[in-house]
């Protein structure tokens, strides 16, 4: 999937947003498109796996609480697979409880962001994760 970024230029970084909340998906997608990124979305782990197989993203913003397979299980699966372990996965959650960040890192997440999303800080945070 190729999306056109700012000023009609095609962006070089592919980002997948995995979230079962349509409002969150749209908000993050709009922000990242404005930054010039190519953005794909998925509402659950199964849909995410299809997107990853067909259009390998460089970064995944992964909601932890998903219907069916949760985001941490999907992350662990991706990090155990040699073909997908290099994808940067950032946990994105509204349920920021004590110990959740440690659980996310133990599952293989490369970063951890909490909701509500700081729309002004998100582009810089994503840029930092992409530099890894």
> Which tens digits make up the pLDDT trace of 34-84?
999 999 999 999 999 999 999 999 999 999 999 999 999 999 999 999 999
Roughly what angle, to the nearest 10 degrees, separates helices 22-34 and 122-130? Answer: 70
The conformation of residue 7, written as its DSSP 8-state character, comes to G
> Which tens digits make up the pLDDT trace of 78-111?
999 999 999 999 999 887 677 888 999 999 999 9
Domains and CATH numbers, the chain: 6-122 (3.40.50.2300)
pLDDT of residue 132: 77
Angle 24-66-21 (CA atoms, 0-180°, nearest 5)? Answer: 20
pLDDT of residue 1: 38
Residue 119 DSSP SS3 = coil
Banded model confidence at residue 123, pLDDT cuts 50, 70, 90 = very high
Length of the chain: 132
The better pLDDT of the pair 12, 6 is held by: 12
| CB-count burial class (<10 Å; 0-12, 13-18, 19+) for 23 | exposed
Q: pTM for the whole thing? A: 0.89
């Amino acid at each position: 999937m190729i999306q056109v970024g700012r000023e009609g230029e095609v962006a070089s970084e592919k980002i997948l947003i995995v979230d079962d909340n349509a409002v969150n998906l749209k908000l993050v997608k709009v922000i990242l498109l404005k930054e010039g990124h190519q953005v794909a979305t998925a509402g659950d782990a199964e849909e995410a796996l299809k997107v990853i197989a067909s259009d390998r993203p460089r970064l995944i913003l992964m909601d932890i609480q998903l219907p069916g397979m949760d985001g941490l299980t999907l992350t662990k699966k991706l990090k155990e697979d040699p073909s997908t372990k290099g994808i940067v996965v950032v946990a994105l959650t509204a349920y920021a409880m004590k110990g959740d960040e440690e659980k996310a890192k133990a599952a293989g997440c490369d970063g951890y962001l909490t909701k509500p999303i700081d729309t002004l800080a998100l582009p810089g945070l994503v840029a930092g994760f992409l530099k890894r």
